[in-house]
Amino acid sequence: MMKKTIGWGAFLTAIGMVVAVIVFIVRLQADLEYLVKDHSAQEKRLAAQEDRLAAIETKIKELSERDPATPITHSPEEACESAKIVALPTRTVPVHPTTRISWTPAHCKMVVQGYQDEMLVNEFQKIPKESGAVTVGQAITRPDGTMNLGMTELKIWVPGSPTPAHEGVWVNVRR
Q: Provide the mean pLDDT of the chain.
A: 78
Confidence tier at 90 by pLDDT (50, 70, 90): low
pLDDT at 129: 54
- Under CATH, to which class is 76-173 assigned? mainly beta
Is pLDDT larger for residue 162 or for residue 138? 138
CA angle, corner 140, sides to 100 and 91, nearest 5?
70
Query: Would you say 174 and 147 are in contact if contact means Cβ atoms under 8 Å apart?
Result: no
Q: Where are the domains of the chain?
A: 7-71, 76-173
Greatest mean pLDDT among 76-80, 101-105, 116-120 lies in 116-120
> Among residues of the chain, what percentage have pLDDT more than 70?
80
